[in-house]
Structure 1
Amino acid sequence: MSKTDGGPRRSGEKRPQPTAIDLFSGAGGASLGLVHAGFDLRLAVELHPMYGETHAANLPGQFLAADLKELDAEKIANTAGVGVEELDVLFAGPPCQGFSMLGSRVVWDERNNLFKEVLRVGSALKPKAIVIENVPGLVTLANGAYLRAILEGLKEIGYEASCAELLAAAYGAPQMRWRLIIIAWRKDLGIPHGYGFPQPSHGSSPIGRLLPNCSILPEELEGFVNTREALGDLPAIQAGEHTDVYSGVPETEYQKKMRHGLTTELHNHYAAALSAVNLERLALLKPGQDWRDLPHELLPAGMQRAKRKDHTRRYRRMTWNGIPRSVVTRFRDPKTGEYTHPEQNRTISIREAARLQGFPDSFIFHGTRSSQYEQVGNAVPVPLADAIAAEVKRCLSGELGTRLDKPFSRRPVPQIGIRGELIEQAMLQF
């Protein structure tokens, strides 16, 4: 009998609902994925109190607005109602700006050391599984030192850990968003490293075949949810406007899923107001065009001096048959990237961005609009979190699935083995 079975059960005996805590929860993308997968979400911890309004309106469990560095593990355990070794999954998505290719990537960025707080809480609570979510930039920052430090730290507190880069689009989210996922099992469970990573449900490429920041062939995008399939049913609005009523019916499976249980009321469908010159720029762009297709005199002063090979996503208008790019917190600004609506002269609305992140339309974002943009842009894609949570849950029940196999074969990472595991002691002091 697998050690993950938790002992014999009589025929027909219902398995207790597994428990979960979500650290650095943000608006609740990972939390919602855990709930979808059947976890009992006991607690979400997030620094920003305003996010608690969104949590209370959409999710079960307690919410703690706190800086994890100032929160002791006993407080977390008591609030969640779990004892040592009782928690099934500790999910954590430490702020990734210090790791991101879009960020400063400064090695001494203090946010880069928040993983130590995850290890501290994990060491105290000793959950069965620890899942850490971050950006692929973590793989290369400081020549991989931070990734190795996290994997070594997990080993030191008693866990078998592996990592892989997963693409949200491969799990049903209409978005080319990559995440670095670390899954660690408490050693006494007997689950070898490399288990818990879900096989892609969309497209034809296995884990490790497609790479972030590398060209992807058109045929490799087949099977992913495109822009029209995700957003085509949402009503037209102008920049600076919103509407709270649907104007049509859902036509695709994804649209039907997003609108499940709703009739006429639409939430968070607001598009940011734009300056007159930005509206003039957008009016000249066709789908797939970007700043290089604008008249030179209409470009911002800084971009008039830019090389044409640089910033190729700025001011780009989305295409209906394309796969949307990764959503960021600044998607309201057309110069940030490919966030201009395929037909309308505006950037995508909060609701449209939320759909790209996999949040159903019934999930209502609260707080100021500025906060809502941050909540959506920083979220873990719900379908990806759902897939990971479901696979981890199966492993906890003793039903081990497919083991991770050479996730970095196309881009070798020093000291990372064929199961995504650390193969050599490499702990660095930070």
Structure 2
Amino acid sequence: MFDKFGFENSAAPCAVDLFCGAGGFSIGLERAGFDIRLAVDSWHLAVQSYARNFSHPVICADLSVMSGGEILSKANTKRGEVDLVVGGPPCQGFSIQRIGSDYDLRNSLVMDFARLVDEIAPRIFIMENVPGLLGKRGRALFEAFLVSVGKSGYEVEAHVVNAADFGVAQLRRRVVILGRRRGEAHSLEMPRPTCDPRSYLTVQDAIGDLAPPTLPKAQPSDPLHRQTRMSELNLERLRHIPPGGGMEDLPIRLRVDCHKAGADKIGHRNVYGRLASDRPAGTITARFDSFTRGKFAHPIEDRNITLREGARLQSFPDHFCFVGNQEDIACQIGNAVPPLLGEALARAVRKALNSSCSVKDHILEQTEIGLPSGTSD
């Protein structure tokens, strides 16, 4: 017999979501049948959004000073009994778009995640982050993370994934780090892509059915589908940009000063841009509410995409509620793990855990003895 999630009937595995944001990964966890015992984030607005959409506990707390013991107590469980810990520590410190010093205080949160993995001792953990974690800025931190979780008893794999491979209408590359407690009787594997470049969902697939947004001063039926204000200068700029185009399509007179230099001297080219209807979006960032920050204008209409359209491109369902002003909500959406990517990862873990249960049940039937407790020490 199988449950409604497509797995053999068994007790739902339990999970804890750290650095949960508004809850993109948690949507995927629930869809895969996980019992989420606790979610934690330090941003009060994201926590309020999370609480609007889930019935399990979520707390606003600084994970850099919170202990694993506190998390276990609030999750009503014990060390070694959590099946899965997921988390996406803030990544701005080693983003490839960052300018300036490699040092950023937020980088230390990656090591706090490693510390909490040790203190909670889950069977499996998943950490999601930007590809820069494996690059020049992040390499030393990543290697320190590997040493830390290795000492805690985990075998680790790092994979660069594209959210578009899992049905998200967005070319979003991320690093997924899978950790498996040594001695576990399961084989943990990355999920296989469900799409390839020939079958990627496009912007049209994701937002094409939405009616035009309401004007800024009108009372919208959907608060997230309100047209954002745009200056006359930016409207003039946008009229020159074709679908899929950007800053380089602007006449020199309409470019900002830093873009008036020769083509070989211009950085951050993917700004002042439009989406293309027939392709996936580029990465939806925390500032997708302004086309001056990327290719975030509507493919055809002379406007920025709405918050609802951004949420669709991240694969959030329309019923999901967000708390905050325009900038706050854009940040929550742009920083989230796309729910469809989270679901694919959660299903892969669920499959591994189910295979582990089957192996253990078989051993019990054959030997009629108890199983080892299996801690991370």
With normalisation by structure 1, the TM-score equals 0.77
- Matching of residue 155 in structure 1 with residue 150 in structure 2: yes
CA contact (8 A) 1:285 1:317 kept: yes
Cα shift at 1:238: 6.6
User: What is the alpha-carbon root mean square deviation over aligned residues?
Assistant: 2.0
Aligned equivalent of 1:185, options 180, 186, 197 = 180
Number of equivalent positions: 349
CA contact (8 A) 1:173 1:356 kept: yes
Please name the residue that 1:336 is paired with: 293
CA–CA distance in structure 1, aligned partners of residues 271 and 128 of structure 2: 27
CA contact (8 A) 2:275 2:299 kept: yes
- Matching of residue 298 in structure 1 with residue 254 in structure 2: yes
- Per-residue Cα deviation, 1:347-404 (whole angstroms, up to 9, x for no partner): 111111111111000111112222101101111111111000000011011179xxxx
Please name the residue that 1:80 is paired with: 75
CA–CA distance in structure 1, aligned partners of residues 219 and 283 of structure 2: 25
- Matching of residue 230 in structure 1 with residue 206 in structure 2: yes
Aligned equivalent of 2:230, options 274, 277, 293 = 274
Q: Aligned to 2:52, what secondary structure does the other structure show?
A: helix
Cα shift at 1:346: 1.2
Please name the residue that 1:118 is paired with: 113
- Per-residue Cα deviation, 1:1-60 (whole angstroms, up to 9, x for no partner): xxxxxxxxxxxx941111111111111111111111110111111111111221111123
Please name the residue that 1:176 is paired with: 171
CA–CA distance in structure 1, aligned partners of residues 339 and 284 of structure 2: 13
CA contact (8 A) 1:96 1:111 kept: yes
Structure 1: segments with no counterpart, 5+ residues: 1-12, 204-220, 246-265, 401-430
CA contact (8 A) 2:287 2:327 kept: no
Which residue identity lines up with residue 27 of structure 1 in the other structure?
Answer: A
Listed as ranges, the matches of 1:20-419 within 5 Å are: 20-104=15-99, 106-142=101-137, 144-191=139-186, 195-203=188-196, 221-237=197-213, 240=216, 244-245=220-221, 266-305=222-261, 307=263, 310-398=267-355
Structure 2: segments with no counterpart, 5+ residues: 1-7, 358-377
Q: Aligned to 1:148, what secondary structure does the other structure show?
A: helix
Identity across aligned pairs (percent)? 33
Cα shift at 1:341: 0.3
Q: Aligned to 2:297, what secondary structure does the other structure show?
A: coil
- Per-residue Cα deviation, 1:137-158 (whole angstroms, up to 9, x for no partner): 1111347222222222111101
Change (3 A) 1:241 1:155: farther
Instruction: Point out 4+ residue stretches in structure 1 off by more than 4 angstroms.
Output: none
Q: Aligned to 1:176, what secondary structure does the other structure show?
A: coil
Which residue identity lines up with residue 31 of structure 1 in the other structure?
Answer: S
Change (3 A) 1:143 1:270: closer
Which residue identity lines up with residue 338 of structure 1 in the other structure?
Answer: K
CA contact (8 A) 2:80 2:120 kept: yes
Change (3 A) 1:243 1:138: farther
Which residue identity lines up with residue 394 of structure 1 in the other structure?
Answer: K
With normalisation by structure 2, the TM-score equals 0.88
CA contact (8 A) 1:51 1:366 kept: yes
Please name the residue that 2:371 is paired with: none
